[in-house]
């Protein structure tokens, strides 16, 4: 199934299809830009997933992970996260942080730990995503990616 899957850096002309994927999955799109996206998953030439990254020095905010409904359950999400971790490490990031409404158990399986909201480093707490998501709804998680 994933034989013809390609994970590659996002390009400006991916933005429209990427926003459609995010909005179809009910994820926020208001602040999405090419700069805040990192990698896309392409299956037979079609965009089927993406993942975003905001870098704050040695900290990274993983965001906007989505795989389209028809291609979920084939490991594409995990490949996107694994590839993002490698990209983050090569960019000097040592810790990834994320906020999620209902995928905390998914990220737990990928090695992320739940954190108290008060544990968020300043740059993460100041990010648009952090301030826009309701504290009662979103779970904060982190993972060390330092090699």
Ligand X SMILES: CC(C)(COP(=O)(O)OP(=O)(O)OC[C@H]1O[C@@H](n2cnc3c(N)ncnc32)[C@H](O)[C@@H]1OP(=O)(O)O)[C@@H](O)C(=O)NCCC(=O)NCCS
Residues that bind ligand X (CB under 6 A): 25, 27, 65-67, 72-78, 100, 102-103, 105-106
Question: Whole-number minimum distance, CB 6 to ligand X, in Å?
Answer: 15
Question: Whole-number minimum distance, CB 18 to ligand X, in Å?
Answer: 12
Instruction: Confirm if 76 and 67 have CB atoms less than 8 A apart.
Output: yes
Residue number with CB closer to ligand X (18 or 77):
77
Instruction: Confirm if 96 and 88 have CB atoms less than 8 A apart.
Output: yes
Question: Whole-number minimum distance, CB 92 to ligand X, in Å?
Answer: 23
Residue number with CB closer to ligand X (34 or 133):
133
| Residues 68, 7: Cα–Cα separation, whole Å | 14
Residue number with CB closer to ligand X (55 or 83):
83
Question: Whole-number minimum distance, CB 63 to ligand X, in Å?
Answer: 7
Give the other-Cβ count within 10 Å of 105's Cβ.
Answer: 9
Residue with smallest beta-carbon separation from ligand X: 77
Give the other-Cβ count within 10 Å of 121's Cβ.
Answer: 15
Q: Which residue has the tokens 């982190």?
A: 142
Residue number with CB closer to ligand X (45 or 70):
70
């Amino acid at each position: 199934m994933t034989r013809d899957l390609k994970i590659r850096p996002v390009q400006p002309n991916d933005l429209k299809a990427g926003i459609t994927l995010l909005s179809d999955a009910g994820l926020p799109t208001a602040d999405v830009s090419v700069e805040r996206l990192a990698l896309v998953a392409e299956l037979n030439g079609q965009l089927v997933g993406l993942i975003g990254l905001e870098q704050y020095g040695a900290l990274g905010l993983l965001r906007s992970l989505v795989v389209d409904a028809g291609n979920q359950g084939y490991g594409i999400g995990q490949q996107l996260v694994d590839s993002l971790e490698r990209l983050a490490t090569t960019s000097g990031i040592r810790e990834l942080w994320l906020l999620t409404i209902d995928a905390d158990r998914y990220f737990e399986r990928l090695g992320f730990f739940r954190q108290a909201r008060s544990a968020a480093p300043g740059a993460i707490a100041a990010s648009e995503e952090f301030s826009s998501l309701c504290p009662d709804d979103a779970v904060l998680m982190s993972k060390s990616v330092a090699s």
